Structure 1
Amino acid sequence: MKGRQVFSLMLVILLSCFGSAAVKLNFDKSFYTPGSDMRLSIEDLEKPLEYKLTVSKGTKVIFSEAGVTSGVIEIKAPEETGGYGVDLILGNDQTISRGFSVLNNWTESPRYGFLTDFFPERYDISKTMDYLAQFHINSLQYYDWMYDYGKLVYDEGEEYKDAWQRVRKISNTTLKELIKEGHKRNVASMAYVALYACNSELGKEHPEWLLYEKSGDNWKPVDFYKKILITNTLRDSEWTKFLLNECKKTIEFGFDGIHLDQYGYPKDYTSYMLKDGKYLPYKTSQGFLEFINLLKKETNRPVLFNYVNNWPNEIQDKAKTDAVYIEPWESCNTYEDIYKMIVEAKERSGGKPVILAAYIEGIKKNSILLADSVIAVSGDRRLEIGEIMRILSGPYFPGADAVDFKFLETLKSYYDFQVRYEDFLKGDFIEIPEGTLGEIFSTVPKKKKIWITLKESESGLMLNFVNLTSARSSLWRYKQRTPEELTNLEIILPKNMFPEDARFYFVTPDGQLVPQEIQVESLDDKIKLPLLYLKYWSAILVVPAT
């Protein structure tokens, strides 16, 4: 039985790969609102073909239709929000499986990307937004788009150069066209804003805006790379009033919300504010919190804030952001650190989505897929997709690494898997008794082991397996080997962890997006489950029989 299951699985993987090589199924939106129109286009279809299309939620098919298509299929999105699968059979031998989201608003399940190129006469705007929609990117950080630190929108003409280097050309027309084309595909545009940085000239004109540090007997402004000065962002600061007004101009320009950045310093009570001629100790985290919440109140638009190195995470329960955005540095080095950081951020923030700007060089493809898997299983997602064929690899976004389309197709399957089964992935962790597992398994993610977790949601149970058996290191930035492909693994777990009438289905982003039912073996008070195949990440869905 197991041999036939493995053969069947490998055949499905081969056919799936063959089918996706021949044609591609594309979405016209990054996500769909309940009951809205869906336009599915089939790329590289050479002639009209008979088709059968099914839409599923979890393991259950909820819609199907058949017909003949010349390249476009139009259906209605489901009325219930959540993750869905779509499976298309063309002719007799080509199968394409994908996933999509139904949301009321992108903030319910952010899939965050980035843009860096805003030069005049950019010619690929529509193509870029179509590309992003295939990865379900529903929100974008416009990195370094502004005219200056402080004065954000350029209103003295059409073209200007970037605030940091004054080298990269930027066009207001290009910005507005990107925003407009994004809206056509349900992609929101977030304006990058450094919330406590102004240029030196402006700072010298307003010394009461700035933060200071003691230098001998003198006071000097706190700076960043000796280019921009750090400001006081408390509610009653004049800088706060100034920047809030500039952020409102940004919204009037056309942006959907604000992405606030910081630089990780100065820490609380290590700098001073100037008030009534006196230098007073300054609590940076309080300044961040007051600015974030005032911005949210006065704009009523989406707001994100960068917790650099997960600092100051103590404000995550009070900050009125729409997600928790973390840029991990030395405080988060291992796979276990990632897992704990996400779980704690979700708990602290009351269940908000977590986005990690976790930088990995594009050449480290195995490391990317393993980190993406650990992040997804932990409960959320990573910022990595942006400009066409670019992977975010460091804190200066225009330096994103180029990658090949073959790898991007692999990543797309992972994004499809995450949206298709996002209702399961949003579940709560259930503890697995260590004593029931074999030596190859671990309930924490670490090298030389298969990380196993169990999550419970309204959709059912999800057993996740991430293959770290070939990992050289537990450090997620490390260049990892290609995992050994494992088959015919068995897991023995207590029977009381599962419903009595449960059915079990195998799925993986590595070639099996369609649920494949598997048979389990009862052993007194335990159940033996077959894990048919594991490369990077596989899962078993457990749902009631009815």
Structure 2
Amino acid sequence: MVQHNKQITTDCWPEKAQYIVGEVVTLKMIRPIQIKTLPNICLFRLADIFPAEPIWNQTSSQKDAEILTASFSQLPAGYYGVEISWGDTILSTAFDITKDRRQDVRYGFISDFKQSDCGEEDILFANKLHLNAIQFYDWMYRHDNLVSKVELYNDPMGRETSLSTIRTKILACKKYGIRPFAYGAIYAATQELYNQHPEWALYTIDGVPMKFADWLYFMNTSENCPWSNYIVEQYENSISELGFQGIHMDTYGFPKHVLDNNGSAVALEKTFPSLIERSACAVKEIDCEAGVIFNAVNNWPIEEVAPTNQDAVYIEVWPPHDTYFELYRLIREAKQIAQKPVVLAAYMKPFLGAETNESITAAETSLLLTFAVINASGGRQLVFGENKGILCDSYYANYAVIRDSFLSVVRNYCDFAVRYSPLLEYNSAVDISMTAANGINEDILFHAKEDIRFSSNAQADTVWTIIREYEERLVIHLINLSGITQQWNEPKLQRPNSVQDIEIKLLINHRFSNIYVASPDFQGGTAQILEYRKETQNNGQYVFIKVPNLEIWDTVWIELIQ
């Protein structure tokens, strides 16, 4: 988290976006030069302090500040919050330690590869947002000839590209604990390759070759078509020659049912699983940490591709998936098919053309709500990348730039999504949102001032309650849609109406230790203990809780005693 105090900027962040078990965890922080004492530093696992003593070091000095590092050894796997303080300055950040980077895929992007883009600023930005995988978008020489044979070239859209810059950024990703993924469309070929191999192409019923944007030819991804071997070899070259650690297998969402060169029907969704499996095996043979991610455009064909050997279920979201509840449903259904991370490529259209303070603020509010919904639903959002970039278009080079005044808010939300990941993940939980609260359900009752309504399905102008039961805790996410419509990808001309003193009446015939609330909107995400009272009624023991304030996203949880 960045803090400005008396014209001096202070900051703290982990040296890597993600750590592997056994690695030394190093935190960096900027300390004002006039302060000579070491800060107090505290690690947390959810609300609990995790005892650990750092080793301190001063690495460099600036005009008004020093860079300090605090290193921790032999920390166990898990998600950690960090709070650092000296005087009246309080900073926070987060990090995680894992045995396998595939357990949690926090996906970002970069798209600028000119010679002059050879610095690490974009990768450091991704690191501070804890993005542990980055898609290199449109880095390739051609869609069907990925690795250039010359150092300087123009990409398929005519943009200047440097192989040296790409190599530099791949190395930077690995230094910061980020896996670099190479963009690679699964079936796009140039006119030149089509002319050489028209038998590899896909055709309409009239025998016309299928094209995308009138310049890329669709190729047959069936296992018995040589194109499938050809594109897998292109993926292998990207890993072996440049050091990428993954392939982003892009699709365009169409066509679905076509013909091969012999006029035989091809159902493309049936060809995808084999191609994914072969691609994953091929890249892992070169680098055991490598993997693939397949783009299921608008959730098609999720039943076929979600169970395959890919690192995450990845869905590029388009209409008619227009509402907040649709985002929740996409994630929940994907999790039910495959127990693996889910990434929604949810591009924030409100930033397109936003130039006035009012329009930018409306876009920022839209982003925060969407990010909260996706993460509270158990997914991750592909939206951040480049140097302070926000995706607002499917052509990633058209990204918007985060204004400085909003940057600390973005980092708070990204810190929160890592620090409290155990409250977000879906795999070991039962979602009881629709069976425990609202409607006729009376296990959990919500109440606030008279004009505030609550819903289990993201209705407009309500506080949306997402509730999950874990073996060790009960979690309630409160998403504030008060005064907000259901559509996620539209400007929000006003922030949600603040809601004070939300009363929760909870039937809980289970022993518990404490009740907490945390929010990215308050106190750097620090967990607060909530007071409660118990009352025995006909159905059993009820607990009465009061949540003081809701701006956009609060998370309440009850730690159960096993």
Aligned length: 516
1:122 counterpart (112, 117, 121): 117
Distance in 1 separating the partners of 2:142 and 2:159? 13
1:132 counterpart (117, 126, 147): 126
Identity of aligned residues (%): 28
Distance in 2 separating the partners of 1:62 and 1:195? 46
1:503 match: 514
Aligned partners of 1:260 and 1:306 also within 8 Å: yes
Does 1:262 find its partner at 2:246? no
Where do 1:439-518 residues align within 5 Å? 440-457=453-470, 460-471=473-484, 473-480=485-492, 481-496=494-509, 499-512=510-523, 513-518=525-530
Compute the displacement of 1:178 (Å): 0.3
- Flag structure 2 segments of 5+ consecutive residues without an equivalent: 59-66, 285-289, 352-359
Aligned partners of 1:50 and 1:67 also within 8 Å: no
Secondary structure in structure 1 of the residue aligned to 2:138:
coil
Aligned partners of 1:50 and 1:66 also within 8 Å: no
Compute the displacement of 1:65 (Å): 4.3
Deviations 1:483-540 (A, max 9, x none): 12222221112133xx323311121000232211111122323221111111000111
Compute the displacement of 1:411 (Å): 1.1
Compute the displacement of 1:213 (Å): 0.4
Does 1:272 find its partner at 2:263? no
Does 1:161 find its partner at 2:165? no
1:331 counterpart (320, 324, 339): 320
Secondary structure in structure 2 of the residue aligned to 1:466:
strand
Letter in 2 for 1:152: L
Deviations 1:323-378 (A, max 9, x none): 011001123111111111100011112x1111111111333111111111110111
Compute the displacement of 1:63 (Å): 1.7
1:311 match: 300
CA gap of 1:181–1:69, structure 2 versus 1, over 3 A, is: closer
CA gap of 1:317–1:483, structure 2 versus 1, over 3 A, is: closer
Deviations 1:410-467 (A, max 9, x none): 0111111111010121142234232433462111212111111222335522211000
Does 1:104 find its partner at 2:99? yes
Compute the displacement of 1:58 (Å): 1.4
2:436 match: 432
TM-score by length of 2: 0.88
Deviations 1:353-410 (A, max 9, x none): 1111111133311111111111011101101111112100010000011220221210
2:188 counterpart (188, 194, 197): 197
Letter in 1 for 2:260: M
Aligned partners of 1:506 and 1:518 also within 8 Å: yes
Aligned partners of 1:50 and 1:69 also within 8 Å: no
1:7 match: none
CA gap of 1:179–1:205, structure 2 versus 1, over 3 A, is: same
Distance in 2 separating the partners of 1:84 and 1:395? 33
CA gap of 1:344–1:19, structure 2 versus 1, over 3 A, is: farther
- Flag structure 1 segments of 5+ consecutive residues without an equivalent: 1-12
Distance in 1 separating the partners of 2:217 and 2:54? 63
Where do 1:274-423 residues align within 5 Å? 274=261, 278-300=262-284, 301-349=290-338, 351-360=339-348, 361-362=350-351, 363=360, 364-423=363-422
Deviations 1:256-285 (A, max 9, x none): 110011111111x3x1012xxx21001111
Distance in 1 separating the partners of 2:409 and 2:7? 11
Letter in 2 for 1:81: A
Deviations 1:1-30 (A, max 9, x none): xxxxxxxxxxxx9x9886998411122100
1:79 counterpart (71, 75, 80): 75
1:247 match: 235
CA gap of 1:386–1:18, structure 2 versus 1, over 3 A, is: same
Aligned partners of 1:296 and 1:320 also within 8 Å: yes
Distance in 1 separating the partners of 2:526 and 2:316? 34
Secondary structure in structure 2 of the residue aligned to 1:419:
helix
Distance in 1 separating the partners of 2:145 and 2:420? 43
Letter in 2 for 1:232: N
Distance in 2 separating the partners of 1:249 and 1:20? 50
Aligned partners of 1:20 and 1:95 also within 8 Å: no
